[in-house]
Amino acid sequence: MRVEESLLREPGEWPLPPEMRVPVPRHRGRPPLEYRPRVRSPADVERLRRHRVPALLLTSEWVTKSGYPVSFRPWLAVPERLSRKITSEYRLLPVRDADALRAPGVVELVTLLLRFDPLAARVVAVRNRSRLDPSELYRRVRNEGLEAAATKVRLQEFAPALPKVGRPLPVGDLRWVEQNNPSSPEAA
Is residue 70 within 8 A of residue 60, CB to CB? The reply is: yes
* pLDDT over 60 (residue 66): yes
How high is the pLDDT of residue 3?
46
- Beta-bridge mates of residue 95: 79
* pLDDT over 70 (residue 30): no
Comparing 7 with 107, the larger pLDDT belongs to 107
Q: Please, which residues have CB within 8 angstroms of residue 174's CB and are 6 or more apart in sequence?
A: 119, 122, 153, 154
pLDDT digits (tens, 9 = 90+) for 98-141: 888 888 999 999 999 999 999 999 999 999 999 999 999 999 99
Q: Please, which residues have CB within 8 angstroms of residue 73's CB and are 6 or more apart in sequence?
A: 90, 91
Is residue 132 within 8 A of residue 113, CB to CB? The reply is: no
* pLDDT over 90 (residue 53): no
Which of 112, 111, 109 shows the shortest CA–CA distance to 92? Answer: 112
Angle at 78 between CA 74 and CA 81, to 5 degrees: 145
Separation between Cα atoms, residue 141 and residue 111, nearest integer Å: 6
Is residue 162 within 8 A of residue 147, CB to CB? The reply is: yes
- Letter string b/e over residues 159-172, b meaning 16 or more CB atoms within 10 A of that residue's CB: beebeeeeebeeee
User: Rounded to a whole number, what is the distance in angstroms from the first to the last CA of the chain?
Assistant: 51
Is residue 149 within 8 A of residue 165, CB to CB? The reply is: no
Domain ranges in the chain are 33-179
Phi, then psi, of 29 in degrees rounded to 5? 85, 0
